[in-house]
Amino acid sequence: MSDFSRRRFLQSAAAGAFVAPAFVAPRRLRSPVAIASENGVKAVELAVQRMNEGWRPVDAAVAGVELVENDPEDDSVGLGGLPNEEGVVELDACVMDGPSGLGGAVGALQSIKNPAQVALKVMRHTDHVLLVGEGALRFALAHGFVAENLLTEKSRQKWIEWREKRSSIDKWVSPEENGEHGKEWFKKYAHKTGTIHLGAVAANGDVGSCTTTSGLAFKIPGRVGDSPLLGCGNYCDNDVGTGGSTGRGEACILSNGGAFVVHQMALGKSPTDACMEAVKRVVRLTKVKRLLDDQGRPAFQVKFYGIDKSGQFGSAGLYADQFAVCDEKGARLQDLASLYDDKIR
């Protein structure tokens, strides 16, 4: 399909017109492409290798992120993830499969180190999209996943350190702090966010994606972020591409970031521009003063990632950072486009 007819098709799809051209034959890509957050260099490499072996993009994405879920040194995902305020690790993940249009997700899942694999099972073995908490755990156990203690000694020590100071730095907020007097709250009380998102496009143009996380460190038990919410931390549309996010999940939920990135690409934006539009949307929607720094900027990081069906990729964030990508040139880190030049935490 020419660039022009592709753009017209995507525009009509984006407008909801549902006018599919008689024949859509995406050009075969030179190589599958995978994009991820900066903790995903090995993950994108494995995802591309799996797609080269014929794996579906969503399965390749889950295989990639599993490396990070199993890594006890990454304290933002899977085993060794930082726990909630009661010292319990609760994991969130979702997957989406472009060719079938199906998705699966788990939220606040305890004791199972590979929530993305459980999300795949939800997608393939239920009529539902999202299972949470105890129900998600029972479902995982029914499918043969093994329960284990996900709190490593290193993460437990960080939790104990936080707990000893918790009287002043938990996630409970008074209505007053959410108003005029809340200014500067976020800088003082912010906690680490991590997460891995991985978007994948196969050489035939099919797409799939995945996001997995232990969520915000020391969160209130039961809190789920953007990562298990399709349309927020992860989304894909096989006619367009994939979009996802890492960083402050609350900002991504409130801006529906993942779906917004995909819609922007459907309207003809490049992945990088689509991600930057999502970043600007977060800025526009962040109004509460406790979340702003003394220059009036969001006092947190959010990053977006996108790949379109043609294999173009891009990433943008509020603050300077990097992302991982793998294509025919191999796996590497690249600078993302940032709204502000400085780095944050």
| Of positions 80, 244, 249, 311, contacts ligand GLY by CB under 6 A | 249
Point out which span in 13-21, 22-30, 213-221, 322-330 binds ligand GLY (CB under 6 A): 213-221
The residue within the footprint of ligand GLY, chosen from 247, 258, 298, 306 (CB under 6 A), is: 247
According to CB under 6 A, which one of 98, 225, 231, 244 is a site residue for ligand GLY? 225
- Nearest in space to 307 (alpha carbons), one of 269, 252, 277: 269
Neighbours of 154 (CB within 10 A): 13
Q: Which of 155, 227, 315, 338 binds ligand GLY (CB under 6 A)?
A: 227
- Output b/e per residue, 5-27; b: 16+ Cβ within 10 A: ebeebbeebbeeeeeeeeeeebe
Give yes or no for residue 193 binding ligand GLY (CB under 6 A): yes
CA 338 to chain centre: 17
Q: Which stretch binds ligand GLY (CB under 6 A): 47-55, 67-75, 242-250, 333-341?
A: 242-250
Segment contacting ligand GLY by CB under 6 A, of 172-180, 243-251, 273-281, 323-331: 243-251
Examine the residue annotation and report whether 195 is marked as an active-site residue of this protein.
Answer: yes
Task: Indicate whether 213 belongs to the interface with ligand GLY (CB under 6 A).
Answer: yes
216 binds ligand GLY (CB under 6 A): yes
Which CB, 47 or 82, lies closer to ligand GLY?
A: 82
DSSP states along 110-168: ES-S-HHHHHHHHHHH-S-SEEEHHHHHHHHHHTT--------HHHHHHHHHHHHTTTT
Shortest distance (Å) from residue 233 CB to ligand GLY: 6
And the tokens for 107? 């939220």
Residues 6+ apart with CB under 8 A from 135: none
Question: Which residue bears the tokens 């997957």?
Answer: 95
Binding site for ligand GLY (CB under 6 A): 193, 195, 213, 215-216, 225-227, 233, 246-249
| Catalytic positions | 195
